[in-house]
Chains A and B, each alone.
Chain A
Amino acid sequence: MKLANCCLYTLSQHDRAVSCVKFSCDGSRLASCSADKTVKLWDVSTGKLVQTLCGHTQGISDLSWSRDSRYVATASDDKTVGVWDTHQCQQVAKWTGHKSFVFCVSFNPRCNLLASGSTDETIRIWDVRTGRTLKVIPAHSNVVTAVEFSKDGTVIVSSSYDGSCRFWDTASGMCLKTLVVDSHPATSHVRFSPNSRYILASTLDSKIRLWDFFSSRICKTYAGHVNQFHAIYSCFVVMDPTHCYVVSGSEDKNIYVWDLQSRQVEQQLQGHTSAVISVSAHPKEPLLASSALDPDCSVKVWRLKNDTSI
């Protein structure tokens, strides 16, 4: 079985680099955030712009959807974490505390906690209901590039340009484990696999590694793309349990799709005219969203299909 694709929409309404795209948990909306200080919400079925959320005074680096697909949290260079109500189309919270740019945010599965990582090298855990900082973890010795909660919410994984991925106990804030590659390349992105059994870590030596973090073993290495400067997102696409793919943006303007098991490049999606920084997989359908840096500044939505004719 071979994978085919077609580009459904090209959404070019951002004025600056689009740092992150993410589908909502129910799959109806796509949110994109940009260095132009705005968050834009798109209707997935029509590709129409629904809302533009303005309020941050600096560029936005990352966003996270709440479980009920109503709220979006954003990480901004204005040192604040913003929370937006997409039903009311307004900012409902602005949390200050980080001493430098906020680089990444993530809700926990129950959406009562939010973790944010910053260039001040700390991770902050926020009480979503009150906006109180519950914990400040001096996590790394360089920019924290990604944070994510495990499926059961008890573990947080973080990655940093200091070259490590660390695991944290949510309840106590204790460090549980550290994973590094021997040559210490800066880690630009990390995320849990859908079952939280593995992590997928991207490094600036143009490699993506799938780790079994219980046994500290590298299970798969994906290569072929170019990633040497930017914190490029990667994601999993699960067509069905036997057809899983790893997807990542690349600085050569393509999107790379690897077969999870064979580690072969299955597809290169071409169309963007700058480095592709962010990719996101739709929670239910075989859709993929991607966004690119300056001067392209566009968001594209792709449909993947198992092409049986080849």
Chain B
Amino acid sequence: MNKLLLNPFESQTVPEVMTERISECYGNCLAFNRTGNLLAVGSFYGIVVIVDFDTYGPVVQLQGHEEVILSLCWSFNSFSVLSCGKDRTVRLWYLPDQKELLCLRTPSVPCHVEFHPKNTEYCIIDLSQHLSLLVNIQGLQGDMSVDELTSVVKIGAPKEVEDEERKLKDSLDDSRKQMGTVSKSPQEHFCFFAKDGEEIVRFDTSGTITCFSFEGLQPLRVYSLPGKGIRQVVMERRRNMFAVISHDRYIRVFSFASLLGDSDKPVTPVAQFTDIVGRSQWSCACFSGHYEYLLCGLKGSEHKILVWRIEDGQLEKTLEGPKESILDLAWNPRRNTIVSCGGSGSLYVWTKDYTENWSAFAPEFTELEENEEYVEREDEFDFIDGILKDKAESSDDEKQPVDIVSSFTDAYSDSPCDGNEFCMSVIINGKF
């Protein structure tokens, strides 16, 4: 709602300065909930901390993982968080109870987890050395292994799934014969929900994109990407765009619309960026709220964030932070604020450098570029009967009906506030 009162030109600017360090909280991976009021932080030691972004105070600590957290995802209503870690587990946390509902053990390290955007019963788990999985987690509780589940589907073409199963069998046989050797599947996949969850888009490290239908997991279309192999894929929150960090040190931005056309065609990027000066590889990236900008963190010992305009590919700004590397970046979906993770695990908040808007302090104030000489009207400051008269409050205007009840849609929010969002319980003088 504040956006409606802010200067529309100002409200779209990117953060300029580091304004805050979130205290008592360290991490290496970040995820905002849909409304941007809660931030999930995964740490090196396997702890997931929920930070209240109104106060920058950590409010919940979720303990269970034994090693570094690799990926986090919020359910759309903010009631649950999925996390996966190097300890080869995917855990589901239910925030109202602040407890772990489910611990799924996976055959290899899960690199990325994602909830279905509309149905929290489904999630995607990307595994290293294996095909990614689509899991129905509805009703699952406690500690279990993915291999035991019946509600799991491998995301791949029928032949790939066959191959994978044969390979698994072989590796089992092999490991029986000669201990310790595990056959390495050559490809790693990055899977994401698209089109409101109707499709799943799979990226292979070699640069092939396959779109699958969510129902039945049928391969629909195949595309190829330019560049030499994919290192990392970054999604825009509403799935209008995605960015791919390639091994050739380029980060390329693509529009999802290009994944609707003819199959087997190479997809052309909307924009591509590289660090011309340092030739450094990118460490992390995120899109701004309305995907006007791509924010990229460079690998190396510096905390440097480059802000690129996607439309014309120009560098908008460079944000330089403390002397430490940068691990992850997250854009707050409702405010023009970003959070970055330093190599030490410190979390930094970047916002616009607010300058007081003095013309907001009185209705008749306007900001002038230059001084102006004021010419007084003849009767302007005349007192009639000792008081300055109100301008006649015309009662004609007041006949128009007003609606004080129905909520109006905020142009900047994804959906009208329906009151079904999760809200932290009230804590007063609580210790963390």
Contacts and interface: CB of A to CB of B under 8 A. Distances in A.
A216 B363 contact: yes
Contacts of A83: 428
Given A67-B423, A152-B417, A194 B404 contact: yes
A142 interface: no
A193 B407 CA distance: 10
Instruction: Decide if the interface of chain B is mainly helix, strand, loop or mixed.
Output: loop
Contact of A177 (B52, B337, B360, B429): B360
A95 B430 CA distance: 14
Contact of B407 (A130, A195, A260): A195
Interface string A98-121: 000000000010111100000000
Contact of B387 (A67, A183, A241): A183
Contacts of A113: 54-55
A128 interface: yes
Contact of B426 (A67, A171, A182): A67
B362 to A, nearest CB: 5
Nearest to B337: A171
Interface in A125-159: 127-132, 134, 150-155
B208 to A, nearest CB: 43
A110 B5 contact: no
B428 A178 contact: no
Contact of A129 (B59, B356, B360, B397): B59
Interface stretch (A12-20, A217-225, A265-273, A287-295): A217-225
Given A71-B426, A112-B424, A174 B356 contact: yes
B400 interface: yes
Nearest to A171: B335
B216 to A, nearest CB: 40
Interface string A75-112: 00000000101000000110000000000000010111
A153 B417 CA distance: 11
Nearest to A84: B428
B179 interface: no
Interface stretch (B168-176, B279-287, B320-328, B388-396): B388-396
B402 A219 contact: yes
Given A178-B362, A214-B5, A195 B406 contact: yes
A129 B402 contact: no
A21 interface: no
B124 to A, nearest CB: 30
Pick the most buried of B5, B357, B360, B388: most chain A CB atoms within 10 A of its CB: B5
A284 interface: no
A172 interface: yes
A281 to B, nearest CB: 12
B1 interface: yes
B5 A221 contact: no
A107 B7 CA distance: 27
Interface in B395-425: 395, 397-398, 400-408, 410, 417, 423-425
Interface of A: 66-68, 70-71, 83, 85, 92-93, 108, 110-113, 127-132, 134, 150-155, 164, 166-167, 169-172, 174-183, 193-198, 210, 212-214, 216-221, 236, 238, 241, 244, 260-261, 263
5 contacts: A129-B55, A170-B2, A177-B360, A183-B389, A197-B408
